[in-house]
Amino acid sequence: MKHGKMFASILLVLLVGVAPLLAQGQAELEYPTKGIEVLVGYSAGGATDIAARLVAPFMEKELGKPVTVINKPGAGGEIAHSATAIAKPDGYTLGYIHAPATISITLNRKASYALQDFVIIGNVVYHENLIVVPPTSRFKTIQDVLTYAKENPGKLTIGNSGAYADDHLASLALQNTAGVKFEDTMFQGTAPSLVALLGGHIDLVMCNVADIVDKVKQKQLVVLATLGSERNALFPDSPTMKELGYNVMMGNYTTLAAPANTPAPIVKLLQDTLQKVTASEEYVAKATEMGLPIKYFTAQETTEIYKQQEQRLKELWITLGLPTQ
């Protein structure tokens, strides 16, 4: 009888201990039970927005719930990054972060987030920076730009998507390497900078591939040069700065992330879903049609990329003498 009571007590203890785990498992299996919001730190029509809106319907199809892209432009993306970082870690608020932009903000000032506030779902796009002008521009080659800039320091205006975003850093690195001075003009995303360019308010724009593919096809813009390691197949007539003798290479990683402390099973489901989406023939075909430079990296690969980018940016900060917090 004593053994029976002891067994019953042990069983009760085990059941009490296991119950929360069972409940947690059931809750995890129920995710998602409502729509998911995905925050983008730049204006509609820019590269991140385009990528986010490509991925969203495919994620929605796999998860069975609405996936809605929300634009929160401002402060070089910090507004959206912060909103993602402080969101309830339940898988219903995700956000796109970037290397180098998300990292550079933390080097430049006391940011309202840290990289440790995010858990990586996966990277969806990598594309190099490039310099564009309208077809009516007086500058027909990048050499024309550099020659004028050397003779007229600070007179040329070049737009970018925000302070210390990848395109701003690319502009600063180019100026440093080429020994010229531009007037860097900040916008809340690339889309408004291109509006200003086409309106004749600025001379150049430094941006990314996805920002301008359609406009180049429509002959609204001309790519003077790219900052990739080799010529981009989409713009075969546009030289790289590297081949012209300027060792300046810069690009942008566009990465889906969740708030830190999001339950591991939810993170795993999102990671697996994104990987499945990016491998699907329909997604690849759609991205190719859009000219979007898709480049999927797993969460582990992306985490390592961000570590490397952070070290590289710290070195760049010193080289360029950029302001710190």
Q: CATH number of the domain that 147 lies in?
A: 3.40.190.10
Q: What is the mean pLDDT of residues 31-50?
A: 94
Rounded distance between C-alpha atoms, residue 157 and residue 183, angstroms: 5
Whether 139 and 199 share a structural domain:
yes
User: Quick check: bond before 100 cis, omega within 30?
Assistant: yes
Mean pLDDT over the full length of the chain: 91
105-117 pLDDT, tens digit each: 999 999 999 999 9
Whether 210 and 174 share a structural domain:
yes
Its domain, for residue 271, covers 33-127+252-320
In the chain, the N- to C-terminal Cα span, in Å, equals 71
126-173 pLDDT, tens digit each: 999 999 999 999 999 999 999 999 999 999 999 999 888 899 999 999
With respect to residue 6, please indicate whether it lies within any of the assigned structural domains. no
Q: CATH number of the domain that 65 lies in?
A: 3.40.190.150
Q: What is the pTM of this model?
A: 0.81
How many domains does the chain contain in total? 2
Total residues found in the chain within this entry: 325
User: Quick check: bond before 323 cis, omega within 30?
Assistant: no
Q: Confidence class of residue 291 from pLDDT cuts 50, 70 and 90?
A: confident
Contact 172/206 with Cβ under 8 angstroms?
A: no
244-265 pLDDT, tens digit each: 999 999 999 999 999 999 999 9
Please report the pLDDT score of residue 289 as a whole number: 87
Q: What is the mean pLDDT of residues 273-278?
A: 98
